[in-house]
Amino acid sequence: MSMRLVSVVLFLLAGPLLLGQSQYPKDVFQPPLDIPLILAGTFGELRSNHFHSGIDIKTQQRQGLPVYAIADGTITRIKISHWGYGKALYIAHPNGYTSVYAHLQKFSPEIEKYVKEIQYRKKSYEVEIYPDFGEIKIEKGGIIAYSGNTGGSSGPHLHFEIRNSLNEKPTNPLLYGLEVRDATNPSLVSLHAYPLNSDAQVNQSNERIQLNYSKQADGTYLADEVKAIGTIGFGINAYDRQDMAANKNGVFEIQQLVNGRVYSDFDFESFSFSETRYINTLIDYTYFGRNKQRIQRCFKAPGNRLSIYKELFNDGKIEIKEGLSYTVEIRIRDLEGNTVTVYIPVVGIREPLLKKSEAKQTPYLLKSKQTNNYDLGIASVYFPENTFYEDFHIDLQPGRDTVKIHDNSIPAHKNFTISFDASAYPQLERKSMFIARLSRKGKAQYMNTYKNGTSFSTRTRELGTYTMAQDTVPPKIRPRNFKQKQWLTNYRYLSLRISDDLSGIASYTATLNGEWILMEYEPKTSTLTYNFDDVILDKKQCNLEVTVTDNVGNSTTFNSSFFRR
């Protein structure tokens, strides 16, 4: 190990390992913005297939607010992508934590210059850069960037994370003393009970059932008495609001007690990116698919490998015995300790079921622990072992060009492969064909299609209906802020609108007088932008050429000339 590497490792090791698990430095980091911190999202918040790994700080519906380094450090990573974090910056700090700033509009001038040199060298807007350790040093409170809305962001805000530098685990940024005003209790939206073994029942049902509750004088909730037998569990839908904003954010901790004993307790202090997809075992995924609401279950369902549990007894499941009575108490907390509590009285009694629901039977019983391969004629589907958390009857329905591979009521943890046989189509037609996923409304969404002769395949983690589709229409390109042969001397940038009707835009490239220029692509607004500061033009007349290619290879070239002095 070189001396330099040794010092890097020591630098990274310095902090977290010397601290206890729940001790975080409280007075080292300053806030990343100089406005009051109001959150549009909390750490651990339930998102699509993942837990939110940071906090979303509102930026007053604006872009361009200065973003400050929360402490001294060195930039370890800069990433620019059309999706995800957009423009993002990572700074490692001497205490062993790395701060992450995402959806940025642009970087500070020095960093911007450093990044653009690399973008021009690689001829790519999307880049991922790992500067040498110590190459770009940052001082606490220095402006590192300006807040924006780039990548998968649906409104101006700063996505901010604090990770453990060594293992990359994101930690809750509010554990470091950043001030966010919150005297508001979490809100309970709905309460649910689940029969969990074959002869269990809740209120004469052998399926999930929603429970009624009412508010009591002391602010807690009391559910109507539940009549149950066998192994049961509970789940809640809840959100937390901070002060000064209406955003419905995630709660910090959910604790379940039965007759005073803790049966389950989990919180969002930290988690790892490798486990984040197991969110689909925490929530009731089927319910989410139907109602777009996320129930967090207070028991550990099959396949759940989350490390967020502080305490578990009997996996949070409750054995209800005939003739006994129980008090289940669920406490929902935010990070400030504001708590909402619901009490559920349960009596053990077996009553006739009102209607017995049977799990849907199909000819195909999928055993989750083994590989499963199904030939559906026009297509085949291959599931590697442990693609799913549980065994189930999979619904497979082949059609002419379309196959139904169950529906998205069951979560897949791993990618599986769908292959189509396109041999019925002539070669020329196959060129513009691709595999698409059909939305519930029948809209075709392009899937990354690998073509091997007449065989098309794609990998996905979503069950649903897939089809072969065709795109013969090339992308469209249209200037937004200039015209042919126009004088653009006072213009700061060029803007164009690009779009593709079906398969979507795969790539684009632009030149000015034959030299590659950097165009920033913002898919949300279908906009390509060129900044005139990038290149000093040596000619009065400039020839612009922009080529855009869609996902099946149709391409369009746009030419225009303008004048500039």
Nearer to Zn ion by Cβ, of 86 and 195: the residue is: 86
Q: Which is nearer to Zn ion, 173 or 195 (CB)?
A: 173
Q: Which of 79, 87, 159, 163 binds Zn ion (CB under 5 A)?
A: 159
DSSP string, 322-383: TT-EEEEEEEEE-TT--EEEEEEEEEE-----SS---PPP-SEEE-TTS-EEEE-SSEEEEE
Minimum separation from the CB atom of position 77 to Zn ion (A)? 17
The minimum distance between CB 155 and Zn ion, in angstroms, equals 11
Which of 45, 56, 182, 500 is in the footprint of Zn ion by CB under 5 A? 56
Q: What is the side-by-side order of every strand in the sheet holding 520-522?
A: 476-479, 493-499, 527-531, 520-522
Q: What is the DSSP code (8-state) at residue 280?
A: H
- Is the Cβ of residue 173 or residue 233 nearer to Zn ion in the bound state? 173
Nearer to Zn ion, 2 or 154 (CB): 154
- Judged by beta carbon, residue 159 or residue 437, the one nearer Zn ion is 159
What token pair was written down for 185? 């209790």
Query: CB of 56: closest distance to Zn ion in angstroms?
Result: 4
Of 56-64, 235-243, 428-436, 509-517, which segment contacts Zn ion by CB under 5 A?
56-64
Q: Least distance (Å) from Zn ion to the CB of residue 54?
A: 5
Which residue number, 56 or 265, has a Cβ lying nearer to Zn ion?
56
Looking at the Cβ atoms of 159 and 192, the one nearer to Zn ion is: 159
How many residues are listed for the chain in this entry? 565
The residue of the chain with the least Cβ separation from Zn ion equals 159
Listed ranges 111-119, 128-136, 158-166, 212-220: which one lies at the site for Zn ion (CB under 5 A): 158-166
Shortest Cβ distance from residue 61 to Zn ion (Å)?
16
Distance CA 141, CA 283 (A): 39
* CB burial string 160-191: b at 16+ within 10 A, e below: bbbbbbbeebbbbbbbbebebebeebbebebb
* Least Å from the CB of residue 236 to Zn ion: 23
Q: Closest Cα to residue 470, out of 401, 395, 414?
A: 401
Which one of 155-163, 253-261, 303-311, 341-349 is the stretch in contact with Zn ion (CB under 5 A)? 155-163
**CA–CA gap between residue 443 and residue 35 (Å, rounded):** 42
Region from 50-58, 112-120, 345-353, 356-364 binding Zn ion, contact rule CB under 5 A:
50-58
Q: Helices (DSSP H) in 382-523: which residue ranges?
A: 427-431
In whole angstroms, give the CA distance from residue 366 to residue 394: 6
Q: For the CB of residue 14, give the shortest distance to Zn ion in the complex, in Å.
A: 28
Of 157-165, 246-254, 286-294, 507-515, the segment contacting Zn ion by CB under 5 A is 157-165
Q: Are strands 261-267 and 309-312 parallel, antiparallel or unpaired?
A: antiparallel
Tell me the closest approach of the beta carbon of residue 198 to Zn ion, in angstroms: 41
Q: Mask 3-42, x = binds Zn ion (CB under 5 A)?
A: ----------------------------------------
| Shortest spacing between CB 21 and Zn ion, in angstroms | 25
Strand-pairing partners, residue 326, are 346
Give the nearer residue to Zn ion in terms of CB position, either 174 or 410: 174
Q: Which is nearer to Zn ion, 15 or 148 (CB)?
A: 148
Q: Which is nearer to Zn ion, 56 or 334 (CB)?
A: 56
**From 30-38, 54-62, 91-99, 174-182, span contacting Zn ion (CB under 5 A):** 54-62
Rounded to whole angstroms, the Cα distance separating 4 from 160 reads: 29
What count of Cα atoms within 13 Å lies in the side-chain half-sphere of residue 137? 4
The pair of structure tokens assigned to 144 is 């590192």
Question: Closest separation between CB of residue 49 and Zn ion, Å?
Answer: 14
Nearer to Zn ion, 48 or 361 (CB): 48
User: For 471, which DSSP code?
Assistant: -
Q: Which stretch in 4-12, 154-162, 210-218, 525-533 sits in contact with Zn ion by CB under 5 A?
A: 154-162
Least distance between Zn ion and beta carbon 488 (Å): 37
3-state secondary structure of 95: coil
CA 226 to chain centre: 36
Closer Cβ to Zn ion, 87 or 159, answer by number = 159
Distance CA 100, CA 273 (A): 14
Q: Which residues of 45-84 are buried (b: 16+ CB within 10 A; e: fewer)?
A: bbeeebbbbbbbbbbeeebebebbbbbbbbbbebbbbbee
Using the rule CB under 5 A, give the single segment among 17-25, 51-59, 122-130, 394-402 that binds Zn ion.
51-59
CB of 249 to Zn ion, least distance (A): 11
In the bound complex, what is the minimum distance in angstroms from residue 42's beta carbon to Zn ion? 10
**Could you tell me how many residues of this chain bind Zn ion (CB under 5 A)?**
2
* Per-residue CA distances from 321 to 46, 228, 338, 562 (Å): 34, 8, 34, 82
* Neighbouring C-beta atoms of residue 148, cutoff 10 Å: 24
Give which of 88, 90, 49 is closest to 73, Cα–Cα.
Answer: 90
Question: Structure tokens of 431?
Answer: 């060129």
Phi, psi values for residue 102, rounded to 5°:
-130, 170
The nearer residue to Zn ion, 102 or 519, going by C-beta atoms, is: 102
Sign of CA dihedral 245, 246, 252, 254: positive
Choices 48-56, 195-203, 266-274, 544-552 (CB under 5 A): range interacting with Zn ion: 48-56
Which residue lies nearer to Zn ion by CB, 56 or 471?
56
Minimum CB distance to Zn ion, residue 158 (Å): 8
Catalog residues that contact Zn ion under the rule CB under 5 A: 56, 159
